[in-house]
Structure 1
Amino acid sequence: MPDGPITAHLVRPAADAFPEVEGLAQLLAHAEQPVVVLGGRVWTDRATDAAVELIRTLGMPAYADGAARGTLPPGDAQHFLHSRAYAFAGSDVILVVGAPSSVANFRAAYGSRLSPHSTLVQIDAGHGLRAVARAAAGLSFQERADRAAVRRKEWLDELRSAEQTAEALWQRHLTSGASPIHPFRLLAEIDQFLTEDSVFIADDPWSADLAGRLVQPRTPGHWMDPGPLGTAGAGIPFALAVRQADADKESVVLYDGDPSTSADWDFEALVRPHLRFIGIVAHTGDASPCLDKARLHGGYGEDVRDPAEIRPALQRARASDGPALVAVRIDPDAYLPGSVNQPHHQTDPSRNK
């Protein structure tokens, strides 16, 4: 393997016989510890089937960002969520599809977590992905059933063990009865509340980073966020876009703090068309102003302080005739492992023990 990361750009190859396509298929087939990162363009370029075909054909572990979340369903043997840093550090090939910044942005420590012995390959999510998937499927059984294939199975088991180790750090918080409510308890309730018709929307980067740990859309194209460098206020515009695309879809929006700072009086735009909108306000103080504003416009509003009441409150919001806000007071001192490091969250690792 090379001494340092190598980036190969493969953009819209003209035919399956394109040399780079066949070379990449061979590289992936002989990789012993590959990693695939799927970005939002896998969904927007309608290449989900090609992504799944490539992952299945070569038995590779996959991580997803943005709208690509849900490409592999929760619980799938090749779907991973909590072991990305471990995978990056131990991989020999990293394939980035439709997500050019996923391994180089601040969430990934600007690439410093990548193995110095890994080959980094970036392809587009349209023609490039489809061509590579076809080339991989065209490899002979012998080419796909060598020692590397056996090692990939061991690699999947290793990553699954890393997932379980990471999950064990915060598993107890998922059912915590503490009040104020632990953020992970809120996320667990949101995840179980979602249906196949729910589009989860993070209003701001903090909400996206937090929710990305536990909230898993059931199908691709059902996650929206403003991106790692985005700003707060994406919730209502995205919800209106969801309504325009499919009126039967339900928007579930997570806010960091009082949404009046980003939603302001736009809530009224949700009430008039009776939008299927459920806003969840994760706050650490008094949520009365935003709830009063929702009710003033004719929407539903409810404040939750008891973790056992989160799901019933969300169900009541869903059953209400119009958009709703559910405010949940979270623990301002909760330690959240990872990159969440906001002023109202401590980062003392001892709190996680």
Structure 2
Amino acid sequence: MKATAGRILYETLKAHGVACLFGMEDPIQVFHAVDRAVTRVVTVRDEKHGAIMAHGYAQATGRPGVCASTSGPGATNLITGLLEALQSSVPVVALVQDHPLRLKGRHAGSALDHTAALAPFVKAVLRIDLPERTAELTRSALRIATSGRPGPVALLCPTDVMAAETEGEPFADEPYAHCPSVRSRADAGALARAAGLLAKAERPLIVAGGGSVASGAFAEIVELAERFAAPVATTMTGKGAIADGHPLSAGVLGTSTGGLYGRGKVPNALLEEADVVFVLGSRTGQICYSNWTLPKPGTALIHLDVDPGEIGRNFPTDVPMVGDVRDSLRDLLAHCRTASIARADRGNGGRMAELKEQVARELATVAESDRRPMRPERVMAEIGRVVDPSTLIVTDASYVTGWAMSQLDVPVAGRFMLSPRGTAGIGWSLPAAIGARLGDPSRTVICVAGDGGFGYVMNELETAARYGVKVLTVVFNNSTLAFQRHWEELSMGSYLDCDFLEVDYSEVARALKCRGESVTDPAELPAALARGLACDGPYLINAVIDPEAAAPIMGFDKPIPPDAAH
């Protein structure tokens, strides 16, 4: 077809099934080419939030999310959102309006070396210098974003190139319209060694990471667990790899869920006791592996990941397996069926049930509390009662992550919870929830945020109202930066400037054309949640909680060394 490069770029995105474009009308030639009957343009209040919306959209749909920005400060606003997508392995393509090529090096308005500025935060930076290469480079951006370990790509769009007429073929390179786009498989020798280790194990444990959910390996993980009578723990991004009601589901492990009132004590104990650990699609980060103290030295480790750079990064690995989790497990299970390799229950299920019962008794003291200000565990318990298989929970970072990951049960295997675990930066959940709901309107989206994190993003309530995005937001409002406050108290003996004014965020919601209410009595939570879920647009519950309540973080029940890092 003959058209401007901007139109050819958009038509290439449309051919790949891109249904939403998050940004502020730049690159202008692209936005003016959009067929609004096919692609929804979502004008955001901050480019960072556009990148986060694209992230939420990508995780909810399995397709790459697309965001956009103008040049200079618009591009640098994207960075926090793109960094989270990079660290979380989420496919996002950022269209960045670049200066006309004829003005390069002349100190044009808002001039910036976009390649240098964005390169550390994306998988690749591509620039369209020739209009005839527009479709090719757009397809390349989608290919890079969705293949290997997925991640964000920046596509620079100089305005003079975008305005130029050219010939181009905006067809879809079909595999790269989805993620994962290309599935690799572990080699047969590694599969056989893994099967042999699992068959001999006395206390095996499967650890399902975010790659397990991204690859859709839900049925395979259950079959593997049942074949070897191996409990399944998950990382935070792996939550949803197995339904919590399954008798072999152990829960979310790590330091964020393993402290006081935390159900992470169960998988942490199983990981400490394991003699063979099979890690699936996990980058073995600090928090989920208890500052890299677990698994213990001497534990046999099998590690399956799509990225060979992650295998052996933090732990000696007995069986390295490079490949997509779902398809590699299919091959492993086929090998086990052919060779009649399995192992009877060794009593691990009884050990896990005992641990779960003990933790449940401890948690009940706060999850069933009628105290005011409300215990956050009670608020989370009430949210848990309205969760069903259609629910998608979107959490912010910090305390709400620990409460949600520890307490909320996954009703059916699948993507159940989104959380910014790549960087753990607060101020993420609301735009991610908006993007997820726009990507998949069939999901009931519940956003949970602390008041500190919510202060970063509350302007996007107006965006949610403008587009009629049905998202229920629950703000856990303790009028303080509680993590920082409690860290300072435990480390320094006191805290300084962490407290906020008491703000009713439901009033803010109403000012921004949403609906909402404030709740201070836990007995009123069920009715408030019912009203929020019945609302046909965005609704916010301002839940006033106890500022002294801490998330179930290991070590927060005793002093912290002054030189410790967050």
**Does the CA contact (< 8 Å) of 2:430 and 2:454 recur in 1?**
no
1:195-206 to 2 correspondence within 5 Å?
Answer: 195-206=388-399
Query: Could you say which residue in structure 2 is the equivalent of 1:295?
Result: 510
Q: Give the structure with higher Rg (CA).
A: 2
1:208 to 2:378 alignment? no
Q: Deviations over 1:222-275 (max 9, x none)?
A: 210000632112212322321233112121111112554221311111112221
CA distance in 2, matches of 1:310, 1:89: 38
1:270/1:287 Cα in 2 relative to 1: closer, same or farther (>3 Å)?
Answer: farther
Asked whether the equivalents of residues 239 and 277 of structure 1 are also in contact (C-alpha less than 8 Å), the reply is yes
Structure 1 CA distance, aligned partners of 2:502 and 2:335? Answer: 55
**Residue 30 of structure 1 aligns to which amino acid in structure 2?**
K
Instruction: Give the Å deviation of 1:107.
Output: 4.3
- TM-superposed CA distance for 1:181, in Å, is 0.9
Q: Which of 368, 372, 378 is the aligned partner of 1:179?
A: 372
- Please, which of 249, 265, 269 is the counterpart of residue 79 of structure 1? 249
Relative distance call for 1:340 and 1:310 in structure 2 (3 A) is farther
Structure 1 residue ranges, 4+ long, deviating more than 4 angstroms after superposition: none
Q: Following TM superposition, by how much is the alpha carbon of 1:159 offset from its aligned partner in structure 2, in angstroms?
A: 1.9
Alpha-carbon RMSD across the aligned residues, in angstroms, is 2.3
Deviation string, structure 1 residues 267-299 (Cα, Å, up to 9, x no partner):
111112221201111111366353222101221
In structure 1, the partner of 2:297 is 116
The match for 2:281 is: 98
Aligned to 2:418: 224
Deviation at 1:204, TM superposition (A): 1.6
Kindly provide the amino acid, as one letter, of the partner of residue 333 in structure 2: A
| 2:372 matches 1:144 | no
Where 2:198 maps in the other structure, the secondary structure is helix
CA distance in 2, matches of 1:181, 1:208: 18
For the residues of structure 2 that align with 1:116 and 1:259, how far apart are their CA atoms? Answer: 38
Judge conservation of contact 1:254–1:282 (CA < 8 Å) in 2.
yes
Query: Where does residue 280 of structure 1 map in the other structure?
Result: 474
Matching residue within 156, 170, 173 for 2:349: 156
- 1:307-341 deviations in Å (ceiling 9; x for gaps): 11111111111122310110111112235543384
Cα pair distance change 1:92/1:12, threshold 3 Å: farther
Q: Which has the higher contact order (CA 8 A, sep 6+)?
A: 1
Q: Does 1:332 align with 2:530?
A: no
Q: Is the 8 Å Cα contact of residues 381 and 407 (structure 2) preserved in structure 1?
A: yes
SS at structure 2 position matched to 1:108? coil
Alpha-carbon contact 1:304-1:310 (below 8 Å) kept: yes
Give, as a single letter, the amino acid of the residue that structure 2 aligns with 1:74.
D
Amino-acid identity (%): 22
* Shift of residue 98, structure 1, vs aligned partner: 1.0
Take 1:71 and 1:109, find their aligned partners in 2: how far apart are those partners? 20
Alpha-carbon distance change, 263 to 347 in structure 1, aligned in 2, over 3 angstroms: farther
Matched, 1:69 2:263: no
Deviations 1:127-182 (A, max 9, x none): 33332232233332xx424xxx342xx12211221222222222222211111111
Aligned to 2:104: none
* Cα separation, 1, equivalents of 2:226 and 2:554: 31
Offset at residue 66 of structure 1 (A) = 4.1
TM-score, normalised by the number of residues in structure 1 = 0.84
120, 125, 128: which one aligns with 2:328:
128
Structure 2: how far apart are the matches of 1:57 and 1:228? 32
Distance 1:63 1:93 in 2: 13
Structure 1 unaligned regions, length at least 5: 1-10, 349-353
CA distance in structure 1 between the partners assigned to 2:400 and 2:389 by the alignment: 21
Point out where structure 2 has 5 or more consecutive residues left out of the alignment.
1-182, 252-262, 306-324, 480-500, 560-566
Distance in structure 1 (CA, Å) of the matches to 2:186 and 2:542: 52
Question: TM-score by structure 2 length?
Answer: 0.54
Letter in 1 for 2:439: A
1:236–1:338 CA distance, 2 compared to 1 (3 A): closer
